[in-house]
Each structure stands twice: as structure tokens, then as C-alpha cells.
Structure 1
Amino acid sequence: MFGPGDGGHIVPPLQRGCVTLVCRFEDGTIRLDGDSDALDPDALPGVTVDDRGKTLRAPAYRYGELRAALDEAGVDYTDRVLALPTLALSTSYDLRDYQTAALDAWRANDRRGVLELPTGSGKTVIAIGAMAALATPTLVVVPTVDLLTQWRRELETEFDVPVGQLGGGEQTLEPLTVSTYDSAYLRAEDIGDRFGFVVFDEVHHLGGEGYRDVARLLAAPARLGLTATFERPDGAHAVVEDLVGPVVYDRSVDDLAGDHLADYELRQVDVELTPAEREAYDEAQGTFVDYLKTSGLSLDSGSDYQELVKRSGRDPQAREALLAKQEAREIMMNADGKVDALARILDRHRGDRCLVFTAHTDLVYRLSERFLMPAITGETGTDERRSILDRFREGTYTRVVAANVLNEGVDVPDANVGVVLSGSGSEREFTQRLGRILRPKSDGGSAILYEVVSVDTAEERVADRRR
């Protein structure tokens, strides 16, 4: 049976002296049955009194802490929460020095915590190393069907055991199982006692209100979170720390560039709005700014922007300002000068593999038609997207244009040139896009990321913020 601190080996159920208490998993909780009158629930982590049966319960994710507290208090109990087999897992991966350091840091924190490492740095490899070391049934939770397929393929290749899948049209459960966050949310209270280890890929998603229950309902004491950018603008990363653990190891792109990731260069390309675009932009932006001056709201505050959205439902002036802001944003992000700049960049890099990122689907299709590039948007089917990326990997295609969907959750084949035509001020988005071109190059080559920015617009501030 797997428990905190036992390294994933099989041990007999914990019985000491006269057993007075029994711990069981039930519907996403740890239920304490037996002689609990002498226990002080307030002294045990997460434990409350269930008035329905007068039993004690704790959220399943507090299982490890609960066991430790019972041991420390000298309470006699039998642990029937997890009764898991030892898996014969071994890996052929030779971890790099920083990957070994990351794994050691996670182990030192009682096998709980988050690794914050750039895209392309081999976070999956570290997780596989942890699985081999623990040798316990493991659930891997991912945000997209693409990642579901990638993880399953990787685990089937590395380990000679069946790999289950929850999501993408399949519901099969195995000691090693990969699940989408959505499927794990639906199944967690039923399968919460089936795994001793859980890996959350793109763990920042766990901060979402609904997805938090995925972690709460699983009893697995060993927890590993993987991400390139841990902090969330809404502060919900604090919730992730409680459910998975804090960041125990982090390295930036600059830390790994050159030795483990490709060297890279950032180039900003400034473009001017056309006279017609400038007139329309100034008018729309002016309407928005004038409203802010009289409303008491701040241009830089995310909460104030949300307040503007709320007001727009009842205040005609607020609605006019919001629509004006959206119009100004579309003008600066889809400027004709950006298309001309992209033409020059693509001409300069004819022999390179290029990924072009935009914020708007309409611009993707416009660029696809203009430059005869395959397009990937949220409207692109899974099979078509996979086919495009396969052909990009093979070299049949050397250019792809996408609207946000390649930011994360997709295994993008090696590219060495990225072009950001438009995007948000999110540091996460920028880091993810940069990571798409930073995978180690077999020829030792470097990567270039272009940012195309409309000058004398709010986009200049957006570009500064995301860096």
C-alpha cells in the first residue's frame, strides 16, 4: 500500500496495538470509522464531523497529512485508503543535471510540489523519472486531447505496461492512466483511491474553479505539477500550492538557453498604421480614454476593466466605450503594415521553419490565403490539426499560422522562427510562444522570435508588459 514517505513500496496495512479507528476512501473523502470519541477533529488536518453518520471525514487530498497527524498523535488505526500494487517501471532516459536537481527538490518536499520550467526543457522526462522511482499506479492529468494522445504515446513507448485513457472518446482505466482535466473532474470521486501518484501537466489550469475538485477528490499523496508559468493573474496559484504543493524548482529560459535549449534572439518590428487606420484608431481610442477620465476607472487595472464590462450592460456610455476599445484593439492588432512586415520576414527566412501567431481567427485565414500557409484555429478539427503538424514535422510544410491554439497543450515540431503578430499582455502567453521555438536544435542553431508592434498605439504597452 502506498503512503507518504514509503517511496511507493508495498507495506502491510498499518496496525498498532488495539485498533480503534479505520480510515477508508469514500466518494472523494477520507472517512474515519470506529472509536473516534477521544479524537479532537480540530487537531486533525481537514477533518470535520459528518452529521449524517456522526463520522469524521477529511477531503481526500489531505490523506497524507492526516496519516502523519494520526501517527504523531499515537492513534491506533487501520489504513484501508490505498491498497495498490508495485509496478515494474524502468526508464531509459538519462536525466540532465537540472532535471535531476528538479526531481531531487520534489522528493525533498515529501514528493509534493510544482516544477516551473520552460517549454522544451523536458518536464515530461522528469515526471517519467518520478513514476519509475515510485513504481506506484499513476494518473496523469492534462488540459487537451492533443496532450492526452502525446502522454499516452510516451508512456506506452517508455513503459511495458498498458496505459489507460479517460477522455478523447475513450474511458479505460489502468494502473497508468492519462486523463483530461474534464474527464478527471467527472470521475475523481470514483477513482480517487486507485492511484498513489498524480501528475498535473499545465498545472496552472488546476486553479480554475471547477478543476480544483480534481485534486481535492484524489487521495494520492505524491503530487507533481508541471508548468512553464505558475503564477495566475487571479492569484489562484495559491490554491494550487495547497492542493499540489509550492514551486520546488524553477529555471527560466535564459537559465537553459545555449546548453539545454536553443540560443534565441528577440526582435521587435515596428509598423505604422495607414492614414485611414490611424484616423479610425485615434477616434475609437479617444472615446475609450475620455470615458475613463470621467468614470474613475483605470486603464491599467484588470478589475476596473471588468467593472467597465459590467457597467456596459446598463450604461450606454460605458457600452460605447467598451465597443470603442474593442475596435481600437482590432485595428492595431490587424494593421495592414503587419501583413507587409510578415511578408518581409518570411522572405528573409525562406529556408527556416516558421510559426506565426495571431490573436484573431479572421487574420489567420487572411494570412493563410495571402501566403499559402496552412492555418490552425479553434475551428480546426483534431485530425486536420494533427495532419498539419505531422507535415510540418516532416518538412512538407515549413510555415504554419495559428490563433492561440498552439500556445500550449500541443506538441509542436521543431521550428526556429516565431512571429507574434498580435497577442495579449500575458507573460504566460509570451513564454509559451517563445518555448515553441526553443527546443534543442540538432545542428546547434539558434532561434528568433519577432514581435510585430503597431507604433503609437496601446500595443506598445502590451508588448512591454508581456516581456
Structure 2
Amino acid sequence: MVSNATTGSEPITLRYEDGTIRLEGLPPERSVPDAPGLEFDPRTETGRAPAFRYASLLSALGDEFDAVEDRVLDLETLPALESAYELRGYQRAALDDWLATDRWADAPSAASEVRPPERAPAGVLELPTGSGKTVIALKAIERLAVPTLVVVPTIDLLEQWRRELEREFSVPVGQFGGGEQRLEAITVSTYDSAYLKADAVGDRFGLVVFDEVHHLGGEGYREIARLLAAPARLGLTATFERPDDAHEVIAAVVGPLVHRVDVDDLAGEHLAPYDVKRLEVSLTAAEREEYEANQEVFASYLARSNISMNSGSDYQELVKRSGNDPAAREALLARQRAREIMLGSAGKLEALEGILADHPGERTIVFTAHNDLAYDVAERFLLPAITHQTGAAERREILSRFREGTYSRVVTSNVLDEGVDVPDASVAVVLSGSASEREFTQRLGRILRPKSDGSRALLYEVISEETGERRVSDRRR
């Protein structure tokens, strides 16, 4: 570590500029230990670092230089914020663990002229769906009382968050997305809109909350976190780890996983106790014949081509080859047809008929992997269906009627896995799904809100026996 030394009569000055932190007065030959990402920009003859490095950069400069002038953040003054929510014990523990990560709690020293503008806790909280992650975030906003950007994946969540923030804090709440581009000291944005706006408003917030933070692992979305200077960062998710290991990127730009609560930790006290039943159904003779034939086409091509399908890159290689290799295309189509048979077998509809008969009048959500099966279920059992093709107004109407009890059952293809305020249900049926642990956890979370009568929630998995679906089911568990 280099001892403190000024660079001359002019102090080092930090400014925000288009998603970066610009350092004026830093000589090109001068390095700053513990300041990753800091480079000399010969075009402007200044130092420059990604905006998300602001907190660590300010701390490092405070250790290295006597005179540092911080002009990065342009924050409005908020009125006193007070949330009426009272945290449960597990929620308070999560918030406390996040607050304890404050990178400026013990810095800078009294001798330094560097003064951090506000606290800078940073990290991710993993709690089950239905456990009140939004409440924890509201209390975090209350505690820090700084301009805050909340980033969410869907328009439904955008509207839910805006209403909740307005109700809790009685302040104007801005919105990026859903046809509006309005900046306020507290603003809610979709990931898509934040991606477009981050470099323009990156100095206007002291705290950023990423709801469903696992989305931030996407190649484009991760730039949102990099372009924002907000020193305080909170990520919320039910499932932090991603199969592509992109959670490591999230940890770098938001903060590490600092608190985790498992579903089983809350079931029975804060969430409904639950059971999972796996029902295996047989393919018909015709389905079995077609399934095996398509599997043989697929497996034969893999054997000839030396592709193992042990990773996502293997599948991408097959897709790539299918563009100019007829045999690869035939194999890919055969795999898709085999999956369609496996995931949408006739036996699954018969099993669903029995499940619905066993739970008359109970609020039930039927999950499918594809729209075709969702519409087959809707037609056969006269259930309202919600898919990606369902308009926003119709979807709200269906959920409203489900909430009030006019509808006791709905069927959906992935749309209700996350990002939608789904009314309480006690039964979920997974007719088909992916191997994603996240998807399974989110579907389970849809039935875990405590029941007034203390009854247990129940999730059914219906899988086609002697197919690859058994392996899919094992992986998502």
C-alpha cells in the first residue's frame, strides 16, 4: 500500500459520465491499489472506471490520497420514509445480514476528506416465493432513505411495486416501462427499460433493488448494474444459482449471496406445510412407438456425430449444425417430437382428471411447459387459460376472478412462474416443465402462502414413465 500523498494543489475529482466514473487529476503513471477496473483514458487524460466500482473506488482513493472531491451522485432529498410493515424474525435476519455488508461502515478514517454520501450495503437475499421479499426491500428503502431504483422483469411486477411503494411511503413513484418514462426519487423500471436508461440516470440513485435478480445474469441485462453508480445494492430471488454459472457475474456487480432461507425452513410456520406427489403415467401403444422411433433417430445422430448432450454448448452445436446439415435438422426435429409426446401424453390428461376430482372447489393451478397442452387442458376441462398469448387485460380479469373465487382453477404455460401476483392456491399440478430447479421452486411457491385453516399445500408432478422425463424431474428437485 502506498502511503497517503496528494497529487498537487488540485484534488482528485470523481464525476459520473455515461455509465463510468471519471477521475480528474490522476496522473497516468499513478496506480491505485484495491481499485479494480480503473484505467487511464488517453482521450480525456483522466482515469476511468465502470460506474458499479464507485463504492470500492472511493474507498481506495480515500486510503491513497489526502484530497478527494466526490461529485458522482446527484441525489434528491427524500422526506422521512416509514413503512407500516413489521418484519418477521426470518425477514429481520435477512435484512440485518444485508445491512452488515455496508462497505463504508468503518471507512473512511477521520483524517480523510473523503466522506461517503450514504451507506453502501450490497448483496443478494434468497428466500422462497411467498415469504415476503418485497417487504424486506421496503424496509431496506426505509432504512437507507435515499433515492432508489427498483428493477423488475415484468409489467405486472412494475405495477405491483409502484402501487406498493406509493401506498407505503406516500411519495410520487416514477416509472420506466409500460408506456411511461418518468423519473422520480423512487422509480420502478422493467429490466428492458433500465437497460436503455441506466447510463442516463446512473448518478440519480443511492440504492438499486433488483427483483428476481437472477435475470441480471443475462448478457445484456448485466450492463444495467455496471452502468449504475448506486453504492447500495440489493438483489432478491427465490433461486440465486444459475445452471450457466452467471450468478458469479451477479455477485460481482450486485454483491454475493449474503442470506439464504430454504422452503423447508419456513414451511409449517410462516409458509404452508406442503407435500409433493409424483405420479407416473404410461404412454399409449401408439405414443410409445412414435416416441421410441424419434428417440432412435436422435440417438443415432449423436452417436455418429460424437455429440454427448452433456451441456448446453452441445445442444447449441446441434442447433448450429442443423442450419446446413439435413441429418442434424432431422435429429433436432426428432428430439422435439419425442419431447412433445413425453410432455403431453394422453395419460397426463387422464391423471389430471383424477386430481381435479380429488380436489373439488380447491384453488388449483395447472402448469404446463407449452401453450398447446395448456389449451388442450383448457378445452377438455373448461378452465381459463393464461399463456404468453393472453392479453394483459384478460389476464388481470382471470386472476381477479380466481382471487375472488369465481374461478377455482386456472391453467398456464410458464407465465405465472414468476413476476405475477397470483392469488393463494392450495393445489398445483405440474403436467410438464423443464429441468430448472428455479422453475420448480417458483411453482411450489405459488401454493405455500399460509392457509387460514392450517391445511397442507399439495403439489403434483405428473410424468410419463420410461421416458427422459424422469431424469428431468430428478434434476429440478
**What TM-score does the superposition give when structure 2 sets the normalisation length?**
0.92
Is the 1:87–1:137 contact (alpha carbons within 8 Å) kept by the matching residues of 2? no
In structure 1, C-alpha distance between the alignment counterparts of 2:375 and 2:86, rounded to whole Å: 43
Match of 1:144 in 2: 154
Match of 1:176 in 2: 186
Is the 1:87–1:136 contact (alpha carbons within 8 Å) kept by the matching residues of 2? no
In structure 1, C-alpha distance between the alignment counterparts of 2:130 and 2:409, rounded to whole Å: 20
Give yes or no for the alignment of 1:353 onto 2:363.
yes
Is the 1:41–1:56 contact (alpha carbons within 8 Å) kept by the matching residues of 2? no
How far apart are 1:298 and its partner, in Å?
1.7
In structure 1, C-alpha distance between the alignment counterparts of 2:66 and 2:248, rounded to whole Å: 31
Aligned in 2, Cα 1:35/1:434: closer, same or farther, shift over 3 Å? closer
Give yes or no for the alignment of 1:59 onto 2:50.
yes
How far apart are 1:423 and its partner, in Å?
0.7
Match of 1:98 in 2: 90
Farther off after superposition, 65-74 or 77-86: 77-86
Question: Aligned with 1:402: secondary structure?
Answer: strand
Farther off after superposition, 72-81 or 325-334: 72-81
How far apart are 1:440 and its partner, in Å?
1.9
The amino acid that maps onto 1:282 is: E
How far apart are 1:321 and its partner, in Å?
1.3
In structure 2, C-alpha distance between the alignment counterparts of 1:261 and 1:16, rounded to whole Å: 58
Match of 1:11 in 2: none
Give yes or no for the alignment of 1:39 onto 2:26.
no
Q: 1:365 aligns with which of 375, 385, 407?
A: 375
Q: 2:444 aligns with which of 426, 434, 446?
A: 434
Question: Aligned with 2:48: secondary structure?
Answer: strand
Match of 1:394 in 2: 404
Question: Aligned with 1:440: secondary structure?
Answer: coil
Farther off after superposition, 288-297 or 58-67: 288-297
Match of 2:418 in 1: 408
Compute the RMSD of aligned alpha carbons.
1.6
Q: 1:260 aligns with which of 255, 261, 270?
A: 270
Farther off after superposition, 17-26 or 354-363: 17-26
Aligned in 2, Cα 1:350/1:70: closer, same or farther, shift over 3 Å? same
In structure 2, C-alpha distance between the alignment counterparts of 1:203 and 1:45, rounded to whole Å: 23
Give yes or no for the alignment of 1:245 onto 2:270.
no
Question: Aligned with 1:194: secondary structure?
Answer: coil
Match of 1:379 in 2: 389
Q: 1:78 aligns with which of 69, 77, 80?
A: 69
Give yes or no for the alignment of 1:459 onto 2:474.
no
Aligned in 2, Cα 1:42/1:109: closer, same or farther, shift over 3 Å? closer
Match of 2:124 in 1: 114
How far apart are 1:332 and its partner, in Å?
1.0
Match of 2:3 in 1: none
Question: Aligned with 2:209: secondary structure?
Answer: strand
Q: How does 1:299-338 map to 2 (within 5 A)?
A: 299-338=309-348
Is the 1:267–1:449 contact (alpha carbons within 8 Å) kept by the matching residues of 2? yes
Deviations 1:354-388 (A, max 9, x none): 00000110111111111111100001111111111
The amino acid that maps onto 1:104 is: D
The amino acid that maps onto 1:246 is: P
The amino acid that maps onto 1:373 is: L
Q: 2:40 aligns with which of 49, 53, 59?
A: 49
Question: Aligned with 1:449: secondary structure?
Answer: strand
Q: How does 1:196-211 map to 2 (within 5 A)?
A: 196-211=206-221
Deviations 1:212-248 (A, max 9, x none): 1110111100000000111111111111000000100
Is the 1:28–1:60 contact (alpha carbons within 8 Å) kept by the matching residues of 2? yes
In structure 2, C-alpha distance between the alignment counterparts of 1:87 and 1:436, rounded to whole Å: 36
The amino acid that maps onto 2:283 is: L
Question: Aligned with 1:405: secondary structure?
Answer: coil
The amino acid that maps onto 1:61 is: F
Aligned in 2, Cα 1:19/1:101: closer, same or farther, shift over 3 Å? farther
In structure 1, C-alpha distance between the alignment counterparts of 2:57 and 2:251, rounded to whole Å: 18
How far apart are 1:41 and its partner, in Å?
5.1
User: What are structure 1's unaligned runs of at least 5 residues?
Assistant: 1-14
Question: Aligned with 2:43: secondary structure?
Answer: coil
In structure 2, C-alpha distance between the alignment counterparts of 1:182 and 1:373, rounded to whole Å: 32
Q: Percent identity?
A: 65
Aligned in 2, Cα 1:451/1:333: closer, same or farther, shift over 3 Å? same
**What TM-score does the superposition give when structure 1 sets the normalisation length?**
0.94
Deviations 1:79-105 (A, max 9, x none): 111142244111111111111111111
Question: Aligned with 2:320: secondary structure?
Answer: helix
In structure 2, C-alpha distance between the alignment counterparts of 1:267 and 1:234, rounded to whole Å: 29
In structure 2, C-alpha distance between the alignment counterparts of 1:366 and 1:132, rounded to whole Å: 47
In structure 1, C-alpha distance between the alignment counterparts of 2:453 and 2:169, rounded to whole Å: 30
Deviations 1:318-338 (A, max 9, x none): 221111111100011111111
Aligned in 2, Cα 1:301/1:22: closer, same or farther, shift over 3 Å? closer
Question: Aligned with 1:164: secondary structure?
Answer: strand
Size of the alignment, in residue pairs? 453
Q: How does 1:157-306 map to 2 (within 5 A)?
A: 157-306=167-316
Match of 2:144 in 1: 134
User: What are structure 2's unaligned runs of at least 5 residues?
Assistant: 1-5, 103-120
